[in-house]
């Protein structure tokens, strides 16, 4: 009779509850398939190990079920931001604004409305280039938005279409212009040059060269995804389960010390 076979009824037709390596292996596999419902054999150390294995099984099934539920039940995790109102309605987003720009002054001087609410989410950066390039950094904060000039943002949104997108709604309109002396003699020639450039399509060619357009870019094509449960999300449970396995191994060592080194007999149930 194996010393770890636990107790038996000691009746004439009873047989020893032998425990072998194969039984250990199949007990683990069977317990996993049955979700820990079959605690076999009856010795203390195998029961302890199988109990901890059952806990791990519950964690695995729970994590899988939670992940599957998140993917099937959640339709939209985050709506794409398309307007200023969308941005201020999501206070967990941070809006980067370049210092000294027109939009920076507008936000700082606003007394009510979306601009005033945006002041609580604003993060001041040095330049418009820094504003856009911060979004392209690896492992960048996904809840960061760059509010900058449309021409600058259009370039980055087109060049790095898979990483960022440009909102469809524009706000805080202003115009860029060149100053000329009053009654400058070359003003009519310059005006004619701009008109001819627009009529001939030169302006459009220059625009497409430096701000390329693509139908694949844009926030309307951004698909929201449900957040899956990562390994880090259940890492603590795995650490606890590993600790329980260590406890099970200590119980087994105590049994080995009791039987092999001290020469004690396995403890039987009282009354048998």
pLDDT at 269: 44
pLDDT at 127: 86
Residue 253, burial from CB neighbour count under 10 angstroms (0-12, 13-18, 19+): exposed
CA angle 114, 118, 121 (to 5 degrees): 155
**pLDDT greater than 70 at residue 61:** yes
Q: Which of 109, 199, 101, 222 is nearest to 150 (CA)?
A: 101
At 47, is the pLDDT very low, low, confident or very high (cuts 50, 70, 90)? Answer: low
CA angle 264, 265, 267 (to 5 degrees): 115
Structure-model confidence comparison of residues 39 and 50, the more confident one? 50
16 in Cβ contact with 1 (< 8 Å): yes
At 31, is the pLDDT very low, low, confident or very high (cuts 50, 70, 90)? Answer: low
**pLDDT greater than 60 at residue 94:** yes
At 49, is the pLDDT very low, low, confident or very high (cuts 50, 70, 90)? Answer: low
Measured in degrees and rounded to the nearest 5, phi and psi for residue 123 equal -125, 120
**pLDDT greater than 70 at residue 72:** no
- Segment 165-195, tens digit of pLDDT: 777 777 777 666 778 888 888 888 988 988 8
**pLDDT greater than 50 at residue 44:** yes
Structure-model confidence comparison of residues 34 and 252, the more confident one? 252
- The two structure tokens encoding residue 129: 């280039």
Domains of the chain and CATH, by start: 21-74+231-261 (no CATH), 84-179+215-221 (3.40.190)
pLDDT at 8: 46
Q: What is the mean pLDDT of the chain?
A: 71
Structure-model confidence comparison of residues 70 and 168, the more confident one? 168
- Segment 112-160, tens digit of pLDDT: 888 888 888 999 998 888 888 888 887 778 888 888 877 777 777 777 7
Structure-model confidence comparison of residues 132 and 232, the more confident one? 132
């Amino acid at each position: 009779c194996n010393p770890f076979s636990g107790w038996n009824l000691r009746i004439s037709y009873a047989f020893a509850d032998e425990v072998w390596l194969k039984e250990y292996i199949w007990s683990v596999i069977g317990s996993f398939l049955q979700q820990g419902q079959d605690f076999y054999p009856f010795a203390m150390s195998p029961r302890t190990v199988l109990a901890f294995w059952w806990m791990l099984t519950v964690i695995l099934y729970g994590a899988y079920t939670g992940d599957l539920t998140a993917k099937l039940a959640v339709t939209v995790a985050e709506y794409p931001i398309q307007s200023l109102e969308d941005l201020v309605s999501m206070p967990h987003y941070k809006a980067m604004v370049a210092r000294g720009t027109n939009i920076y002054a507008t936000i700082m001087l606003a007394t009510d409305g979306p601009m005033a609410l945006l002041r609580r989410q604003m993060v001041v950066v040095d330049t418009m280039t820094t504003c856009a390039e911060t979004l392209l950094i690896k492992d960048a904060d996904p809840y960061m938005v760059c509010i900058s000039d449309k021409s600058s943002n259009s370039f980055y949104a087109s060049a790095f279409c898979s990483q960022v997108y440009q909102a469809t709604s524009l706000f805080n309109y202003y115009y860029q212009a060149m100053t000329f002396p009053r009654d400058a003699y070359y003003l009519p020639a310059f005006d004619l040059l701009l008109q001819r450039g627009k009529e001939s399509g030169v302006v459009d060619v220059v625009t497409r060269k430096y701000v390329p357009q693509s139908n694949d870019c844009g926030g309307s094509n951004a698909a929201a995804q449900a957040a899956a449960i990562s390994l880090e999300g259940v890492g603590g449970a795995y650490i606890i389960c590993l600790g329980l396995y260590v406890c099970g191994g200590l119980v087994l060592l105590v049994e080995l010390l009791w039987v092999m080194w001290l020469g004690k007999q396995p403890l039987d149930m009282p009354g048998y």
